[in-house]
Structure 1
Amino acid sequence: MREVNCHEEKIHLCGNIQSFGYLFIFEYDKCIAVSENCIAITGKEIASMLGMTVEAVLGIVAPSLELRVGSVELAISDSRFPRFSDRITIHQKEYFLSLYRYDEKIYLEIESCNPLAIKTTKLYYYAKCLEDQTGDNSCWQALTELIKDVIHYDRVMVYRFLEDNSGQVIAESKSEALESLMNYRYPEFDIPAQARELYRVFHARHTVDVDEQAIPLMGRGAEDLDLTRCSLRALSPMHLQYLKNTGIKASASFSIIVDGALWGLVACQNREPMHVDLSQRHLCTFLTQYAVNRYLADFQKEQVSVQKNLSQLEHDLKSDLLIKRDLYDVLENYAVRIMEVMNGQGLIIKRDRSIMVVGETPDKKMLQKINEKITASEFFATERFRFDSFSEEDNMFPGVLRVSILPANNWFLYVFRKERLIEETWAGKPEKIMQVDEDRKIIFPSPRSSFEAWKKITKGKAEKWRSSELAFIKNIVHIIQQSIAQRGGEIDELNRKLVRSNNALDTFGYTLTHDLKNPLTTIQLTAQMLLHKKDISGELLAKSMKNILEGTQLMRDMMDKVYQMSKVNHVDFVLEPINPQSKIVNIVENCKQQYHVPHLEFTMGETLPVMGERTLIHQLFLNLVGNAIKYSSKKENPHVSVNSVRKGNKVHYYIKDNGIGIDPKEGDKIFEIFGRMANTEGFEGSGIGLSIVKQIANKLDATIHVESQLDVGTTFSVIFNDVA
């Protein structure tokens, strides 16, 4: 018999929809499939609808809708709003109509409106509720309460995916009659891989009634019809049975996307059938993304604080290592601080036969066994180390980290963590139950039927080492090695690499502080507008959501790219043809708000494509155009222009302003870090923007020049390689 796994089920090609809606699918402007129930709203037989154009079908179901020949294509071609939606009436009943393109086809969905209409006047209070949250997981708890208020389900949970792909409930709002599932764990196979991918691509899914009969699609074969982005798609029989086994009748879920990956789900359950209509789903999706933005803002704030403390420790250690003679004595003074940062219970520094011990550690015999097992590895870290020939009491340090300071001198640093007994509560025993289908000769997984609390105690394991902790200890070792190299005069190459690494690390911090101000300002202004404007149109709401999403994505891209540059001496960027026009337009609009120059006269000439990397190109123009606007903002008639010309195999960009200008005597230091000019007093800034521009230009093999005259203005020219 052949075993069939859950991930093999093609749930996006199910060929069925749920009964609360109707579906038409078009290819080359001809209807190729309709749901069997469409007769109810069209009054026409299936055969007569196949082959109809989009406009013809719209003329039947929504004659009052102003979408006719040509305007349909226009409605679904706007990249900002790829899905057209509107409210229509059919046979005196209210429906939502959605029109969108996917997989080279056009999909027309019609679904019932929920009589429990959402109150848009609450949007301000919803946003303020999320904004006012403080503390771990508080924004997620608030999100469950708000979504429960919107959809009126019995239970709303935030379910986070963990490193092993299992999940855990980290926030919950429920009806009083239900038992809490807070902190319950769910196994990975409850949500198979292809289901997770659908959640990542399409962020709102729901099932009105697990017992209802699915409506088949008529026309082209189901295997050709991809319903990945279809709100009406029916669930697989296996998933429906799973939901039935949990005792619920209706479900909804909203994807939590962080850094483009599926971080978790807002999982909603109801004991009775209940429809969540399009307007409710859109609001829940918006609130979920708003909570994600709040979570990321808190996370970045925490990371900046942690990095500041770590940088101070590293700076102090570096200073003492370079000044004091006895390196071993310096390390002894810093051992406790290093151990605390690493969240360890013990630390050992071993140099030849000398051993320094701090806190609780294995004895010398066990340390020898550790070294025999690790052998020649220069860096080793695990949370599951086990001494096979020792007693259970001796195995109290499963968390072992060893890093080599100088292998030739047998100089190592160890950090140890004790065993941590972990009691986990699972929603049912996490085990797959396989069933046999004798007719089809296959073995397939059966949906779990038991969800009663099942406790599991994990032994022989310490808390997992975090990536930030591993990066910290590696940097400490680099600092020690650098000091040794400087002291002895040997290992010159190592010394040069460490200096470059430290400079890059400093640039990383400066760039984060400097360039993230612009997207943070955009996010802040947008959020303030949402909080204080009570009557928000759908179009403005969508535009605001897009501003927030683009701002957070830009911040992530900047941090990722700068982090790469801080960790290595050379980064192989993927260069591609880029036209910076849209980036420049967005930068200008944001900077006009940031520097309070709504009267700025901005002129844009031709913008030719150049070979570059999208994040670095954005940062380069962000600093050059941003500076032009900032330093001309106090002029009576500020003017900034951007244009480009092709000269041979090069593209020259010119950024010109009529601002305060640059004194020729100080021109040599404008690209130096913290190199602020004497006439910049009264303007915010730290003097690092142009040093970042210079580094980016070097990375992109571009050159930069400046011409300026005091009180007249400045022109920066950047010479890129042509795309040809």
Structure 2
Amino acid sequence: MPQVDCHDEQIHLCGKIQYFGYLFVFENNVCIAASKNSIEITERSIEQIIGLTIDQLLNLMTPDKRWNFSEIDVNISIPNNRFTEHIRIGVQEYYISIYQYSKKQFLEIEICSDYIAKSNNLNNYARALEHCNDRWHMLTELIKEITGFDRVMVYRFLEDNSGQVIAESKNEELPSFLSYRYPEFDVPIQARELYTRFPSRNVADIDGKLFEILGISADQLDLSHCGLRAFSPMHLQYLRNAHARASASFSIMIEGKLWGLVTCQHTLPKHVDLGQRNLCTFLTQYAVNYHLLEHQKELIDAYKVMGAVERDLKAELLVQHDFHGVLEQFAPKIMEIVAADGIVLIYDGGLSCIGETPGQKEIELIDDFLLDKDDEILFSTNKFIYSQPDGRDGLYFPGVIRINILPGNKWFLYLFRKESIIEEIWAGKPEKLIVTNENSGISYPGPRTSFAKWKEMTKGSAINWKIIELAFLEKIVNITQQAIGQRGGEIFNLNRELIRSNNALDTFGYTLTHDLKNPLAMIKLSAQMILSREEDKNSMFYKLATNILDSSHLMAEMMDKVYDLSQSNYIHFELELINPQSEILDILKNSKKLYNSKNLIFSLDDTIAIPGERTLLYQMFLNLIGNAVKYSSKKEEPMVEVKSYRKGLSVIYEVRDNGIGIDLNNGTNIFDIFNRMPNTAEFEGAGIGLSIVKRIADRLGAKVSVESEINVGTSFQVEFINVPL
């Protein structure tokens, strides 16, 4: 017997709208479809509506109103933008909404409710979210006030795609669903995709009348962005089983992903109009911004603590010969940071246990079980199952991390978390009900019929390891391996080369901070003299002198930083999360002028915040982007692209150009100081920039790599590791 799953239902191609509005669809500005009820406000048949333009249709319905159609066209030409306005047709107030989607233009006309949002209300709402202790709960209170719904909840998606209510405001007579869990299939895949594309949806009445859209087949009309769209019978039955007659939802989007929903339910039919929905969407995003700000502060605080432990551990490992003794010394701090119950260190046939851990026999069993994963630097799970010596399944420490400190040498660091037994409360038993249609014989999952409290004891797992905790442990591995590597026999030759490179950089740093200070001082003095002249206050010279003086200050600061870099292996600075977008744009502007690259094609994607120090990051991007602009400036169509993206726990910044390229096969290290490639003779330079980039990246714990082809272009990648989400 065939079975249709919920996620197979094409809910965005339903071809119907709800009763509280009207829909017109245009292609090339000509109406190709309209909802069946549109005769109510146009007094024209569907045949008479088809073929009209948007301006003809609006002038037909609102003959006394003047429309600025050029303004409308500009507005809706911006992706995801809408033109909205409050109008009157006859005696009824309406909202109109015009937008473009899927190569079509849509005109929605929707009845207004009695709610009027005042500007002082918006200020009060913003202040309430800003100064409260629990922003998600405050958000439910505000949305309940705006919509008048009986119940408003914040529903968060968990790692297994199920959901949990983390905040709630409701009428007193209703039972509370706070902390209740909901199974993954309550919000099927295609519904989540729609929530990602369009931030709000509402059902005014589960038994309300629906109107077909005539003039086009349903499968050719994507209603993903339509606020009037009708809903799946399965979803309506789900609401009916939950004793709700009306519903609304607002997407909570974090970093481009659906983090959760604000869900609203009402026991009677209720229409929440476009103005109310837009206000609720705005307040939801406002709460998200504050949530992200708080989360970022927590990450920065944690990053500082981790950084201090990393520095202390590195210092101890470099001076102590007893590596396992140093790791034992730092084990309590490492346990505290990653919230582990115990640590086990296996080395040279020895074994050290700190805190609460499984017994030695159990550890040996775990070790044997992971033999096929010896090549993995870090293995982690929160649901590890292994056999006890007496034959029982042991779930005492299902949270396991194994760090391969020295691959091939059987040096391992284990961290354990005890089993976390949790009593979870579900809104109804989380099981699918299969319904069979008597006529077609097709089976499909039906909506759950009960939302009564259902308890379940969760066993056999530990609390999940966080990404930032795993990133910290990876850094511990890198630090330990670097320290051990420096004791190896091959380190002598590397040290000799490093001394030579450092001496060269010391000379360069001294030159910058001493030999260049006199001409820089003259430049600053000249700019100050121009600024002191009253008659030049409003002239171009005054503006140019201001720019010169500002740039001189920046140059002096950069030279001091390079000198510090050349004089010390461990320059002191506080890491902070910095989004370098403004610095990149500033560097580009100056580089275009410097290298006279007026027709440069520049591309910059969204930038991701990275840990660093602002002056050092500026200097690193100055060299990378400056080189890209310089060495592509003689092309007919010079192109420079800067983008950033995540790769696992890392953030990678890529600077790509279509310039002269680099011969990477000639055996020359392009990061050596004063090193210039043969094909750069016609460009001015001293061969210093890339050595500065490499040195700064090393100081920031980043990695630099390059890909290039002669006469095709060059791509530099800087990988920042251990970057919090």
**TM score, norm. by length of structure 2:** 0.71
| Cα pair 1:404 1:413 within 8 Å, conserved | yes
Shift of 1:380: 2.2
Greater alpha carbon shift after TM alignment, 353-362 vs 481-490: 481-490
Per-residue CA deviation, residues 189-227 of structure 1 (Å, 9 max, x unaligned), is: 111111100000000111111111211112211121111
Report the Cα distance in structure 1 between the residues aligned to 2:391 and 2:259, rounded to whole angstroms.
40
Report the Cα distance in structure 2 between the residues aligned to 1:604 and 1:141, rounded to whole angstroms.
55
Shift of 1:48: 1.2
Asked if residue 126 in structure 1 is aligned to residue 125 in structure 2, the reply is yes
| Cα pair 1:96 1:111 within 8 Å, conserved | yes
Report the Cα distance in structure 1 between the residues aligned to 2:45 and 2:597, rounded to whole angstroms.
55
Asked if residue 99 in structure 1 is aligned to residue 95 in structure 2, the reply is no
Report the Cα distance in structure 1 between the residues aligned to 2:583 and 2:328, rounded to whole angstroms.
55
Per-residue CA deviation, residues 539-580 of structure 1 (Å, 9 max, x unaligned), is: xxxxxxxxxxxxxxxxxxxxxxxxxxxxxxxxxxxxxxxxxx
Asked if residue 385 in structure 1 is aligned to residue 376 in structure 2, the reply is no
| Cα pair 1:94 1:113 within 8 Å, conserved | yes
| Cα pair 1:100 1:107 within 8 Å, conserved | yes
2:451 aligned partner, one-letter code: F
Report the Cα distance in structure 1 between the residues aligned to 2:171 and 2:25, rounded to whole angstroms.
40
Report the Cα distance in structure 2 between the residues aligned to 1:335 and 1:417, rounded to whole angstroms.
14
Report the Cα distance in structure 2 between the residues aligned to 1:168 and 1:408, rounded to whole angstroms.
44
What is the aligned partner in structure 2 of residue 339 from structure 1?
335
Shift of 1:462: 1.2
* 1:400-479 correspondence to structure 2 within 5 Å: 400-479=400-479
Greater alpha carbon shift after TM alignment, 479-488 vs 244-253: 479-488
What is the aligned partner in structure 2 of residue 23 from structure 1?
23
What is the aligned partner in structure 2 of residue 248 from structure 1?
244
Per-residue CA deviation, residues 433-466 of structure 1 (Å, 9 max, x unaligned), is: 0011132221111111100011111111111222
Determine helix, strand or coil for the equivalent of 2:22.
strand
- The structure-2 alpha-carbon separation of the partners of 1:695 and 1:407, relative to structure 1 and needing over 3 Å to count, comes to closer
| Cα pair 2:337 2:469 within 8 Å, conserved | yes
Shift of 1:45: 1.4
- The structure-2 alpha-carbon separation of the partners of 1:108 and 1:700, relative to structure 1 and needing over 3 Å to count, comes to farther
What is the aligned partner in structure 2 of residue 12 from structure 1?
12
* 1:287-436 correspondence to structure 2 within 5 Å: 287-378=283-374, 379-389=378-388, 390=390, 394-436=394-436
Report the Cα distance in structure 2 between the residues aligned to 1:311 and 1:402, rounded to whole angstroms.
21
Asked if residue 87 in structure 1 is aligned to residue 86 in structure 2, the reply is yes
| Cα pair 2:386 2:393 within 8 Å, conserved | no
**Identity over aligned pairs, percent:** 45
What is the aligned partner in structure 2 of residue 511 from structure 1?
none
What is the aligned partner in structure 2 of residue 489 from structure 1?
489
- The structure-2 alpha-carbon separation of the partners of 1:402 and 1:72, relative to structure 1 and needing over 3 Å to count, comes to closer
Report the Cα distance in structure 1 between the residues aligned to 2:264 and 2:56, rounded to whole angstroms.
38
Asked if residue 113 in structure 1 is aligned to residue 112 in structure 2, the reply is yes
| Cα pair 1:607 1:644 within 8 Å, conserved | no
What is the aligned partner in structure 1 of residue 635 from structure 2?
648
Report the Cα distance in structure 2 between the residues aligned to 1:38 and 1:161, rounded to whole angstroms.
39
Determine helix, strand or coil for the equivalent of 2:237.
helix
Shift of 1:361: 1.3
| Cα pair 1:112 1:277 within 8 Å, conserved | yes
Asked if residue 614 in structure 1 is aligned to residue 609 in structure 2, the reply is no
Determine helix, strand or coil for the equivalent of 1:153.
coil
* 1:484-563 correspondence to structure 2 within 5 Å: 484-490=484-490
| Cα pair 1:612 1:700 within 8 Å, conserved | no
Report the Cα distance in structure 2 between the residues aligned to 1:71 and 1:211, rounded to whole angstroms.
39
1:614 aligned partner, one-letter code: D
- The structure-2 alpha-carbon separation of the partners of 1:401 and 1:241, relative to structure 1 and needing over 3 Å to count, comes to same
Q: Which of residues 197, 202, 207 is equivalent to 1:201?
A: 197
- The structure-2 alpha-carbon separation of the partners of 1:644 and 1:94, relative to structure 1 and needing over 3 Å to count, comes to farther
| Cα pair 1:611 1:720 within 8 Å, conserved | no
Asked if residue 156 in structure 1 is aligned to residue 124 in structure 2, the reply is no
What is the aligned partner in structure 1 of residue 42 from structure 2?
42
Shift of 1:28: 2.2
Asked if residue 179 in structure 1 is aligned to residue 175 in structure 2, the reply is yes
Shift of 1:401: 1.6
Report the Cα distance in structure 2 between the residues aligned to 1:164 and 1:493, rounded to whole angstroms.
51
Determine helix, strand or coil for the equivalent of 2:318.
helix
- The structure-2 alpha-carbon separation of the partners of 1:214 and 1:688, relative to structure 1 and needing over 3 Å to count, comes to same
Q: Which of residues 263, 273, 278 is equivalent to 1:277?
A: 273
Per-residue CA deviation, residues 456-483 of structure 1 (Å, 9 max, x unaligned), is: 1111111122222222112212211111
1:608 aligned partner, one-letter code: N
Determine helix, strand or coil for the equivalent of 2:169.
strand
- The structure-2 alpha-carbon separation of the partners of 1:672 and 1:144, relative to structure 1 and needing over 3 Å to count, comes to farther
Report the Cα distance in structure 1 between the residues aligned to 2:583 and 2:339, rounded to whole angstroms.
47
| Cα pair 1:32 1:219 within 8 Å, conserved | yes
Report the Cα distance in structure 2 between the residues aligned to 1:485 and 1:644, rounded to whole angstroms.
38
| Cα pair 1:185 1:427 within 8 Å, conserved | yes
Shift of 1:492: 9.1
Determine helix, strand or coil for the equivalent of 2:132.
coil
- The structure-2 alpha-carbon separation of the partners of 1:695 and 1:351, relative to structure 1 and needing over 3 Å to count, comes to closer
What is the aligned partner in structure 2 of residue 663 from structure 1?
none
- The structure-2 alpha-carbon separation of the partners of 1:391 and 1:66, relative to structure 1 and needing over 3 Å to count, comes to farther
Determine helix, strand or coil for the equivalent of 1:449.
coil
Report the Cα distance in structure 1 between the residues aligned to 2:3 and 2:230, rounded to whole angstroms.
25
What is the aligned partner in structure 2 of residue 236 from structure 1?
232
Report the Cα distance in structure 1 between the residues aligned to 2:395 and 2:193, rounded to whole angstroms.
41
Report the Cα distance in structure 2 between the residues aligned to 1:468 and 1:606, rounded to whole angstroms.
42
Asked which structure has the greater CA Rg, the reply is: 2
Per-residue CA deviation, residues 395-433 of structure 1 (Å, 9 max, x unaligned), is: 311112212222433221111111110111110001000
Determine helix, strand or coil for the equivalent of 1:462.
coil
Shift of 1:377: 1.8
Determine helix, strand or coil for the equivalent of 2:408.
helix
| Cα pair 2:254 2:288 within 8 Å, conserved | yes
Report the Cα distance in structure 2 between the residues aligned to 1:430 and 1:609, rounded to whole angstroms.
58
2:81 aligned partner, one-letter code: P
Report the Cα distance in structure 2 between the residues aligned to 1:59 and 1:43, rounded to whole angstroms.
13
Gaps of 5+ in 1: 497-582, 592-601, 629-641, 654-666, 675-686, 703-718
| Cα pair 2:385 2:393 within 8 Å, conserved | no
| Cα pair 1:88 1:97 within 8 Å, conserved | yes
| Cα pair 1:605 1:644 within 8 Å, conserved | no
Report the Cα distance in structure 1 between the residues aligned to 2:714 and 2:66, rounded to whole angstroms.
47
Shift of 1:105: 0.9
Determine helix, strand or coil for the equivalent of 2:486.
helix
Shift of 1:613: 5.4
| Cα pair 2:384 2:400 within 8 Å, conserved | yes
What is the aligned partner in structure 2 of residue 636 from structure 1?
none
Per-residue CA deviation, residues 492-528 of structure 1 (Å, 9 max, x unaligned), is: 99999xxxxxxxxxxxxxxxxxxxxxxxxxxxxxxxx
Report the Cα distance in structure 2 between the residues aligned to 1:166 and 1:345, rounded to whole angstroms.
28
1:340 aligned partner, one-letter code: E
Shift of 1:365: 1.3
Report the Cα distance in structure 2 between the residues aligned to 1:107 and 1:368, rounded to whole angstroms.
66
Gaps of 5+ in 2: 497-580, 620-628, 641-685, 716-725
The number of equivalent residue pairs is 565
What is the aligned partner in structure 2 of residue 215 from structure 1?
211
| Cα pair 1:381 1:400 within 8 Å, conserved | yes
- The structure-2 alpha-carbon separation of the partners of 1:224 and 1:388, relative to structure 1 and needing over 3 Å to count, comes to same
Shift of 1:277: 0.9
| Cα pair 1:351 1:411 within 8 Å, conserved | yes
Shift of 1:90: 0.6
2:436 aligned partner, one-letter code: V
| Cα pair 1:485 1:495 within 8 Å, conserved | no
